[in-house]
Chains A and B, each alone.
Chain A
Amino acid sequence: MPEPNPPIALLAELTHRCPLMCPYCSNPLELVQKQQELTTDTWTRVFREAADIGVLQLHLSGGEPASRRDIVELTAAAHAAGLYTNLITSGIGLTQARLAALVNAGLDHVQLSLQGARPEMADRIGGYKGGYDRKMRVAELVTDAGLPLTLNAVMHRQNLADLGQTLDLALSMGARRIEVACVQFHGWATRNRASLLPTESQVEQLKKDIAIARDTYRNRMAIDFVPPDYYSDFPKACMGGWGSTGLVVSPAGQVMPCHAADSIPGLAFESVADRHLGEIWRSSHAFNAYRGTDWLPQPCQSCERRDVDFGGCRCQAAALAADPGATDPVCRKSPYRPKVDAMIEDMTSRASASDLTYRKFG
Chain B
Amino acid sequence: MTPYLLSGVRLHFDKVRNTNVLLAPERALMLDGVSYEILRRVDGIQSVVEIVEDLARAFDAPAEVIRGDVDAFLNDLKTQLLVGDRDA
Binding site for B on A (CB under 8 A): 6, 8, 52-54, 56-57, 82, 84, 86, 108-109, 111, 146-148, 150, 176-177, 218-219, 221-222, 224
Contact = CB atoms under 8 A, between A and B. Distances in A.
B7 A147 contact: yes
Contacts of B69: none
B17 A222 contact: no
Given A146-B7, A148-B8, A219-B81, A176 B16 contact: no
Contacts of B21: 56
Interface string B49-88: 0000000000000000000000000000011110000000
B8 A222 contact: no
B25 A86 contact: yes
A109 B12 contact: no
Given A82-B12, A176-B81, A219-B78, A54 B25 contact: no
Contacts of A56: 12, 14, 21, 23, 28
Contacts of B81: 176-177, 219, 221-222
A109 B79 contact: no
A6 B12 contact: no
The 7 closest A-B CB pairs, nearest first, are A148-B8, A54-B16, A84-B23, A109-B25, A56-B28, A109-B8, A146-B7
Interface in B1-28: 6-10, 12, 14, 16-17, 21, 23-26, 28
Given A82-B12, A222-B81, A176 B23 contact: no
Bin the interface of chain B by size.
10 to 19
Contacts of A150: 25-26
20 contacts: A8-B28, A56-B21, A56-B23, A57-B23, A57-B26, A82-B12, A84-B10, A84-B23, A108-B10, A108-B23, A108-B25, A147-B7, A148-B6, A148-B7, A148-B8, A150-B26, A177-B81, A218-B79, A219-B79, A219-B81
A222 B8 CA distance: 15
A176 B81 CA distance: 8
A148 B14 contact: no
Contacts of B16: 6, 52-54
A47 B78 CA distance: 31
A121 B16 CA distance: 46
A240 to B, nearest CB: 13
A8 B19 CA distance: 13
Interface of B: 6-10, 12, 14, 16-17, 21, 23-26, 28, 78-81
A109 B10 CA distance: 12
Given A56-B28, A148-B24, A148-B25, 11 more contacts: A52-B16, A53-B16, A56-B21, A84-B12, A86-B25, A109-B8, A146-B7, A177-B25, A177-B26, A218-B79, A219-B78
Contacts of A176: 6, 25, 81
A219 B6 CA distance: 13
A177 B81 CA distance: 9
A147 to B, nearest CB: 6
Nearest to A55: B16
Contacts of A86: 25-26
A45 to B, nearest CB: 18
A53 B14 CA distance: 10
A224 B80 CA distance: 12
A104 B85 CA distance: 26
Nearest to A221: B81
A54 B14 contact: yes
Contact of A84 (B7, B28, B78, B79): B28
- Residue picked from A56, A86, A111, A222, most chain B C-beta under 10 Å: A56
- Residue picked from A6, A150, A176, A218, most chain B C-beta under 10 Å: A176
- Residue picked from B8, B17, B21, B79, most chain A C-beta under 10 Å: B8
A82 B80 CA distance: 24
A95 B21 CA distance: 32
